[in-house]
Structure 1
Amino acid sequence: MKASRRRLLLGSLAAAALPLPALRSAHAASFPERPITFICPWPAGGTADQSMRALCQVASTVLGQAIAVENRVGASGMIGAKVLASARPDGYTIGQIPISVTRFSQLGMLQADPRKDYSYIARSSGQTFGIAVPSNSPYKTLAGFVAYAKANPGKLTYAHAGIGGATHVGMEEFASVAGVQFNHVPFKGGAEALQGVLGGHVDALADSSSWAPHVESGKLRLLATWGEQRTPRFKDTPTLRELGYNVVVDAPNGIGAPKGLDPAIAAKLRDAFRQAVASPEFKAVAERIDAPILYLDGPDYEKYVHQVYARETVLIDKLKLREMMR
């Protein structure tokens, strides 16, 4: 017992004698020495959760340590985003950063600044958003949908997953570009919004691919998707941009850590998630949930976040989102 205590004391004294950079270097060289916690700000089983778990499984193999996914949900993903920003920057707490942090931080829903409160590891994949209507709807094409909206301002209703979210803002941006006015109907989430349309209570659905199985079964008709390119599973459906509306919404998922992460640890995490995004396992999950792969390495991902933040500043004022949030 005494010998053990002596060794512990000598080890502590030796560590104390090392300069701080040397301590950090030693810590980074041995990282990771224990399991890593991954904060997912969305419910278990959802598309974002599925993609993050697939990435973590591959990255854990690369790193040689388990990565435990912890779902911290609520406030449109901002509860998990705040937990991540507030964690110790030691590499043992990482997580998904929704790109909506650039909007909600400016709207007061996130007490963190995405330009300075995170270390960015990788951008991974986006989502496939679209506008869908019931199969018995009179609107066979987006052109017919827009024509009716122009002739009847504010009469067409659409369901979305919450004020200020990607589906609401994307649809309002489209309406602005198209020169029309819709009547938006917020729901507590995409699942409820989908039921509102399937039940005939709302004219159209603006959502990520919750509509996909219902389009395939013939219950819904997909008028347009919102990505840079057509989604492979629905290759006959045009994008908004193809139809003449310069609107692209793909809400990329990203992976980050609290600000102040040791660069050497960040490099290890970046390499692990680079390999994870490129893996067949992740690509299979991404294809199944219609998630386009949009990889960016950490530094480029950080630049992208700054660019989106600036765009959101303009969009918030243009769409009067602050007034809508009151």
Structure 2
Amino acid sequence: MAQLPLRRACLSALLLTLAGAALPLSASAQGAFPTKPITLIVPFPAGGSTDRHLRIVAQDASKYLGQPVIVENRPGAGGTLGTATMAKTAKPDGYTIALYTLAMLRMPYMQKSSWDPINDFTFILGLSGYTFGFTVRSDSPYKTFNEYIEAARQAPGKIDYGSTGIGSSPHLLIEEIAINAKVKLNHVPFKGNADMQQALLGGHVMAQSDATGWDQFVDSGKMRLLVTFGEKRTTRWPDVPTAQELGYKVVSTSPYGLAGPKGMDPAVVKTLHDAFKKALFDQASMDVMKQLNQSPAYRNSEDYKAWAQATFVKEKGLIEYLGLMAK
């Protein structure tokens, strides 16, 4: 009789094991992720600086994931359209992810949005940040940034510049400078930096504020770089002053990274995180970042979400200060 409780215990354990086996396994438990190509949405047109870096990172991440990572460009709404659409329509299975930029933390303050920049996303990792610069054509009458600002002072609202959209970092940092300098500039938004650069070279806009997609034109002598917006002067253009040196308390690198829709399996997130982290520090990625005068700004999933939460709170003050809050 003493063996009966033991038999019952063994039978119970067997039934629990069988019941557990009948439950659907997560992708990570099956060891199946990924089993097909992954789509990486870049919310900017092809050919710009961000697109250049992400394509290299995606190519190297494919090696570590064992499946292709396909870059899909979906520009619009200041770099938020593609990412926001992903959050609302993609399945949280890890097969559709997107570039997540600082604009995602600003746009909800500037217009009514159907998405939440924190709660509608799963944060995967932080990748890098930009070197922003302000350029004119090489034959422009403006030899320095202060000359450009002085021209705006003499002709309020008539001196223009382009950026990659209302609410983008290149737009807001120039508007912040304009407020500090007490001048009024005419902002011309573009869908992407490739279109904007051609508009500048064609004489359709006087200047542009952007990341280093303009580097080739500055180095070839077709554009003149008037100012950059980092903490220090760049090693690539050491003769160009920073905005801080000119008396403007503006520093901007606009970190970017990768995110997926909310509700992703943590193990799938880790698989993506690990592959893209390796790709970020691969030589091909490092070479492209050097060309763009960028450097890694890696954050793990937890730190990247914490950065987004803190930045979302901080950006509200900037948007209010610039008078861009949605009414």
Tell me, yes or no, whether TM beats 0.5.
yes
- Residue 97 of structure 2 aligns with which residue? 94
1:221 aligns with 2:212: no
State the match for 2:308 in structure 1: 305
Residues 234-261 of structure 1 show CA distances to partners (whole Å, capped at 9, x for unaligned) of 2221221233322122222211111111
1:164 aligns with 2:167: yes
Offset at 1:149? 3.7
1:152-191 equivalent positions in 2, closer than 5 A = 152-191=155-194
Distance in 2, matches of 1:95 and 1:20, equals: 34
Question: Letter of the aligned partner of 1:119 in structure 2?
Answer: T
1:322 to partner: Cα distance: 4.2
Aligned match for 1:105, one of 108, 111, 135: 108
Q: Secondary structure of the residue that 2:303 maps to in structure 1?
A: helix
Closer, same or farther: CA 46–158 of 1 in aligned 2, 3 Å? closer
Distance 1:296 1:150, change over 3 A: same
Distance 1:206 1:20, change over 3 A: farther
Structure 2 residue aligned with 1:76: 78
Q: How far did 1:224 drift?
A: 0.4
Q: Call closer, same or farther: CA 1:214–1:37 in 2, change over 3 Å.
A: closer
Q: Please state if 1:245 is matched with 2:252.
A: no
Matched residue pairs, number? 311
Greater alpha carbon shift after TM alignment, 43-52 vs 189-198: 189-198
What's the RMSD between the two structures over aligned residues? 2.8
Give the AA of the match of 1:88. Answer: K
- By how many angstroms is 1:98 displaced? 2.2
C-alpha change, 1:225 and 1:28, in structure 2 (3 Å) is: farther
| Residues 139 and 40 of structure 1, relative CA distance in 2, 3 Å threshold | closer
In structure 2, do the counterparts of structure 1 residues 83 and 138 end up closer, same or farther at CA, with 3 Å as the change threshold? closer
**Cα distance between partner residues in 1 of 2:57 and 2:199:** 33
Deviation at 1:316, TM superposition (A): 1.8
- Contact 2:101/2:257 (8 A) holds in 1: yes
1:95 counterpart SS class: strand
- CA distance in 2 between partners of 1:180 and 1:109 (Å): 29
CA distance in 1 between counterparts of 2:168 and 2:115 reads 17
Runs of 4+ in 1 over 6 A off after TM superposition: 19-22
Is 1:78–1:109's contact at 8 Å kept on the other side of the alignment?
no
Q: Tell me if structure 2 keeps the 8 A contact 1:28–1:262.
A: no
The answer for the alignment partner of 1:37 in structure 2 is: 39
- Distance across 1 between alignment mates of 2:69 and 2:140: 46
- 1:138 maps to 2:117: no
Point out where structure 1 has 5 or more consecutive residues left out of the alignment. Answer: 1-13
Q: 1:56 to 1:101 in 2, by over 3 A?
A: same
Do the aligned residues in 2 keep the contact of 1:102 with 1:114 (CA within 8 Å)? Answer: yes
Q: Between 112-121 and 34-43, report the one with greater CA deviation.
A: 34-43
> Contact conserved, 2:138 with 2:222, CA < 8 A, in 1?
yes
In structure 2, relative to structure 1, the CA distance for the partners of 1:53 and 1:28 (3 Å cut) is farther
Give the C-alpha shift of residue 112 in structure 1.
Answer: 1.2
The answer (yes or no) to whether the contact 1:101–1:110 under 8 Å persists in 2 is: no
Code of the residue aligned with 1:161 in structure 2: it is T
Deviation at 1:16, TM superposition (A): 9.1
Pairwise CA distance, 1:289: 3.1
Separation of aligned partners in 1, 2:133 and 2:65: 37
Supply the distance in 1 between the matched residues of 2:221 and 2:259 (Cα, whole angstroms).
39
Greater gyration radius: 2
Q: Structure 1 CA distance, aligned partners of 2:318 and 2:86?
A: 26
**Structure 2 equivalent of residue 234 of structure 1:** 237
Structure 1 residues 76, 20: CA separation in 2 closer, same or farther (over 3 Å shift)?
A: farther
Q: How does 1:19-38 map to 2 (within 5 A)?
A: 23-24=25-26, 27=29, 29-38=31-40
Scaled by the length of structure 1, what TM-score is found?
0.84
Correspondence for 2:63: 61
Q: Find the aligned partners of 2:71 and 2:22 in 1 and give their Cα distance.
A: 31
* Cα distance change on mapping 1:151 and 1:255 into 2, 3 Å: same
Cα pair 2:75 2:192 within 8 Å, conserved: no
> Aligned to 1:224, what secondary structure does the other structure show?
strand
- CA distance in structure 2 between the aligned counterparts of 1:178 and 1:102, rounded to whole angstroms: 26
